[in-house]
Chain A
């Protein structure tokens, strides 16, 4: 099993704990993650201004993976959405493909259909499978309970994701949590958006969107929220203090990237999973399972 690892913009500078833990669990599972230096921004951030620019940027990234004969593993939901959508769009539309390739020719690249794009969590669920994950579990997380936040672009639009999960009632991340022995606790508003995409447009609305979820998740007294996208984490973890100050409330809710949780179950140490970078310190949670 081998993929080109697509990091995107945010993870390599603001979500290194996600990257470290993903690489660490991939190693345990013998998933080859190849770094391709030329991968740039996926194209999502320019979609609002010029959708065609997004298509060209995504096509360029797909062309880079195709040239190496590799499928793509993504960690960010927005990258997953844009790259998957573009691959489907270009594969099914020859006129657009020719137009895009005329532009890519300027930089000596060519898009060819056929690269599969998959979120790392989906790879764990579909390609590795729960049984194999379970085989590698060496640390008992039975004392812990989590709530899953999937994030919009991991599930929707469902037509581009072959309905690998149920977009209205998702279960894959919950199952990935349970395979570690921990509990996955349902909550109100599970499908709700983090608001990250409009943080720069209207901070007040975006923070309220994040607050609603923090309220709902903490009502159940879980040990942490589990995310699989750096934008969602920025909303729930990086902005948690800001929300607490603005609304005079307190959450103290740690946010873990799923591979950090899986890594704990695999018996990996705190350092290799990048826990130092978690802004809401998960010390209590780690103490419960005896991790120093």
Chain B
């Protein structure tokens, strides 16, 4: 059910501005995106065309707090096939970024961001890993990238404040 009192007609412009592109308003609802989406094939609760419609209708809260915006596997199939160049994969990233700022981050991505912010890599590298690499004749990898930690410091601060 759509509650018209809760609609935010400005939402599509907010999304377009964040994306740096206005392509979202071009969607003519053809459904090419949904038809080729590999996630949709498995679970029909995920429907990219519907997400676009919800954005255009201004269902801001509902979209940002939904679990389905985290289900896009970023395969870029819809991105390449959309006749209106809506750039849906980028749009999904944009929706996630806005959702994160509103406190709706999915725990899996929160943990990834924490690891990358702490080490500059997705996995913590132990001495054990480098010993193993040495045995295989491979050079050691750096355990912590201080430069990256410094570049992402602002995120850690924001997280501590919230």
Contacts and interface: CB of A to CB of B under 8 A. Distances in A.
Interface of A: 7, 9-10, 12-14, 16, 19-20, 23, 35, 37-38, 40-41, 45-51, 53, 56-57, 60, 103-104, 106-107, 109, 152-153, 156-158, 167-168, 191-193, 195-198, 200-202, 205-206, 208-209, 212, 274
B147 A13 contact: no
A201 B109 CA distance: 8
Interface of B is mostly: helix
B37 to A, nearest CB: 9
A205 B73 CA distance: 10
A48 B70 contact: yes
A180 B130 CA distance: 33
Nearest to A208: B42
A245 to B, nearest CB: 19
Interface stretch (B4-12, B54-62, B90-98): B90-98
B112 A45 contact: yes
A57 B122 contact: no
Contact of A49 (B41, B97, B120, B145): B97
B47 to A, nearest CB: 13
Interface of A is mostly: helix
Interface residues of B, number: 54
Nearest to A159: B80
A192 B39 CA distance: 10
B110 interface: yes
A152 to B, nearest CB: 4
A193 B100 contact: no
15 contacts: A20-B137, A46-B116, A48-B106, A49-B97, A49-B105, A50-B97, A53-B151, A57-B116, A152-B76, A156-B75, A156-B79, A157-B89, A200-B109, A205-B42, A205-B43
Nearest to A109: B147
